[in-house]
C-alpha cells in the first residue's frame, strides 16, 4: 500500500522537476534547496515520531489488555462488588494512552508547522528569484508562474 502512493508521487515529482529544469535551470536549482530542508526535517523528526508512536502503541496494548481482563472477570467483579476497583485499574492505562497520544500529536503538529514554514519560505525565494529574473528579462512571467505552481507539488 505504501508503494502504491510513493511510486506515482515520486515519478510525478521527478517529472515536474524535469519540466521546471527545462523552463529555467538556474531557478530550478533554488528548488534543490528543498533537499537539505527535508534532510533536516527527517533527522529532527523521524526518531521522535518513532519513539512517540511506539509509546502510544504500547500504552494502547496495555489498555486493551486491562480491558480484556476486566471483561473476562466481569461476573466475578460484580459478584464481589469490586466495580470501583476495576474501573480504577483501567484509569491508569487510559491516562497513559491519552498522554502518549497528546505527545504524538505535539510532535506531529511541530513537524507540520516546520514543513509548512519551510515550503512557504522556499516558495517566497522562488517568487523573489523569479521576479528578479523576470525584471532582468531572463525569464518570462509565465515561467515564474509555472515555478510558483510547481514548487508545492514537489
Cβ-Cβ contacts under 8 Å for 15 (sequence gap 6 or more): none
Please say whether the dihedral angle defined by the alpha carbons of residues 125, 130, 136 and 138, taken in this order, is positive or negative. positive
pLDDT above 70 (res 3): no
Mean pLDDT (the chain, rounded): 85
* Grid cell for residue 5: 502512493
Q: Residue 103: what pLDDT?
A: 95
Residue 139's region, left for phi above 0, alpha for psi from -120 to 50, else beta, is beta
The three three-digit cell numbers of residue 138, written as one number: 531572463
- The proportion of the chain whose per-residue pLDDT surpasses 90, expressed as a percent, equals 25
Check whether 90 has a pLDDT greater than 90: no
pLDDT digits (tens, 9 = 90+) for 20-62: 888 888 888 887 877 788 888 888 899 999 999 999 999 999 9
What is the pLDDT at residue 77? 66
Overall average pLDDT of the 80-93 stretch: 78
Amino acid at each position: 500500500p505504501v508503494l502504491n502512493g510513493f511510486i506515482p508521487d515520486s515519478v510525478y515529482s521527478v517529472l515536474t522537476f524535469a519540466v521546471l529544469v527545462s523552463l529555467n535551470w538556474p531557478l530550478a536549482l533554488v528548488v534543490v534547496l528543498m533537499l537539505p530542508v527535508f534532510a533536516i526535517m527527517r533527522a529532527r523528526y523521524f526518531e521522535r515520531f518513532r519513539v512517540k508512536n511506539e509509546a502510544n502503541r504500547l500504552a494502547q496494548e496495555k489498555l486493551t489488555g486491562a480491558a480484556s481482563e476486566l471483561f473476562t472477570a466481569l461476573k466475578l467483579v460484580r459478584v464481589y462488588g469490586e466495580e470501583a476497583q476495576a474501573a480504577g485499574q483501567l484509569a491508569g492505562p487510559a491516562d497513559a494512552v491519552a498522554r502518549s497520544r497528546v505527545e504524538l500529536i505535539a510532535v506531529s503538529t511541530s513537524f507540520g508547522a516546520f514543513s509548512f514554514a519551510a515550503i512557504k519560505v522556499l516558495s517566497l525565494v522562488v517568487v523573489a528569484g523569479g521576479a528578479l529574473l523576470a525584471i532582468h528579462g531572463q525569464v518570462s512571467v509565465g515561467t515564474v508562474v509555472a515555478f510558483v505552481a510547481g514548487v508545492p507539488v514537489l
